[in-house]
Structure 1
Amino acid sequence: MESSCRILVLISGNGSNLQAIIDGCCDNLQADIVGVISNNPDAYGLIRAHQNEIDTSCVIPHQGESRGEYDARLDAVIARYQPDLIVLAGFMRILSHQLVEKYQGRMINIHPSLLPKYPGLNTHARAIEAGDSEHGASVHFVIPALDAGPVILQAKVPVYEDDTPELLAQRVQEQEHAIYPLVVKWFSQGRLTMKNTEAWLDGELIGPSGYAPD
């Protein structure tokens, strides 16, 4: 029997995507969440992990510490879990190039926009201000450039005339909870890989807007 894919989740806050992945792993015998790491000791996601008997660690930033110094400490904790896949689920830190390159092809992130639109923060407000008719979320492999890795899967939602960033965020988050566990499942089944900064599913190149079913 093949061993389960060892999944490590990094969080900073509520952990709703973590919960979606926990729920998804209950139905996916090939995936096992071996740990949750947070930079915030008060993150509610840590409670979610404890409730599901998942090991947790906190790597709290030190005052005056450089990004490289923090990431060296973070990497030492990551190494203890020996992950096959690192899942960034609302981890509110920009990782150093060195750390990203070490795990490139084994690290994914979910971003609340239809990448390449709106990398960075305040994506919902930016979509509304731009007058976009649709918005959404993207799961992508992580590369050193911020929110620029190859897109694996996207989900779209409409933008309404009376939308606020908060209302739009709620609709986008519902879609995040649907697509993130699916991508984790693909990776754990050996169906999803990254080659030459491109995403491949079942031996087929995924297009720039993510996987689109026939």
Structure 2
Amino acid sequence: MATMESLIGLVNRIQRACTVLGDYGGSDNNSFSSLWEALPSVAVVGGQSSGKSSVLESIVGRDFLPRGSGIVTRRPLVLQLHQVESDAQEYAEFLHIPGRKFTDFALVRKEIQDETDRLTGKTKQISPVPIHLSIYSPKVVNLTLVDLPGLTKVAVEGQQESIVQDIENMVRSYIEKPNCIILAISPANQDIATSDAIKIAREVDPSGSYME
């Protein structure tokens, strides 16, 4: 167990270093071999309003993700969970604000929104540049997940017509890696046969195992 925890910690540090160097999933930089592409990851995929945020918050045990209608997740969120001692205080840290500890998770939500707006503006556009968030808590297990923008079928006012394909291309750039585990989220009231998340997961990994 100690060896596995050390390995997860090493992967987390490499992922953070990759992002700082401009090497991340969804990057258009093809001038060098991507180290990120060789790292294992769990990518969270779903349609808009499919319940991805609720699933992630259930895993963490905290409400910390922005909510709203339309495209809320407009940049990938690399969520690195670190288990700490049972009596330790929960806190969060962002890679772009080194050294600042967030103990108020409402402020974590606000920072995710503000950092998203920093690159995309207060628009409904998307960016492949990830936000790195680390959460230290006795309630979590050591795990890294990548929350991706929700798949959509139509562009709405304020979005480019290419947004539908742009989001799919971004999602595919993460889940088509050989070392990626796809966590496909669908609403409980949706026919699994019409799930966009399951559809793209099966296209990428037709021989994979699926659980409802």
TM-score of the superposition, structure 1-length normalised?
0.32
Bigger RCO (CA 8 Å, 6+ sep): 2
Structure with the largest fraction of strand: 1
TM-score of the superposition, structure 2-length normalised?
0.32
